[in-house]
Each structure stands twice: as C-alpha cells, then as structure tokens.
Amino acid sequence: MQKGMITAISLLKASEYRLKIMKAIGNNTVTPSEIAKKIGIRLNHVSMFLKELKENHLVKCLNEETRKGRLYELTELGRNAIDRITNGSS
C-alpha cells in the first residue's frame, strides 16, 4: 500500500466526522451546507474538516475563489480510500 493511501485511511479512521463527510460527498458535487444537513453536524465543523481533507488531497474544491457556495468533490485518492475502508480491505 502506498504511503499516501496509508495516511488517507489513517486520517479517515481516526475521525468519525471525516469519514461521514467523505461518505456524504460520495460521487456528488456538494456544498458544505448540503453536507452539514445530510449528516447533522454544524456548518463550521464541516468547513474545518473539509479544509483538513483538502490539505490531505482527499477532497478538492472546484471554485476556491467563491466565498459562498463552494463546491467539493472527492479526489481519486479520496474515492480509493473510502472504497478500501467500506470494502474492508484496509
């Protein structure tokens, strides 16, 4: 397993919220508000976790220049990490 994948899986398994956010994004393009409503946590917490996930290359923001209504998607690494966790091969 590559170092990036190990770091990604470790990061997600260390926090239930990170994992919930990643699963809430799934194959969709979503805003932080949509994520907050879907999983029932406060918007400021979602934003904090998204920043951390972005820094670790698990999610990407499609419109960084926008202050409101930012759109997020999983990166390839993020999708692969979720697949490994949910399929039990990690």
| Residue 11: C-alpha distances to residues 67, 76, 90 (Å) | 27, 16, 13
Would you state the pLDDT for residue 67?
87
CA quadruple 76, 90, 55, 17: dihedral sign: positive
Which phi and psi (to 5°) does residue 72 adopt?
A: -120, 145
Query: Is 3-86 CATH 1.10.10.10?
Result: yes
The closest of 54, 56, 25 to 39, measured between CA atoms, is 25
Q: What is the pLDDT along the chain (90 residues), one digit of tens a residue?
A: 788 899 999 999 999 999 999 999 999 999 999 999 999 999 999 999 999 999 999 999 999 999 889 999 999 999 999 999 988 754
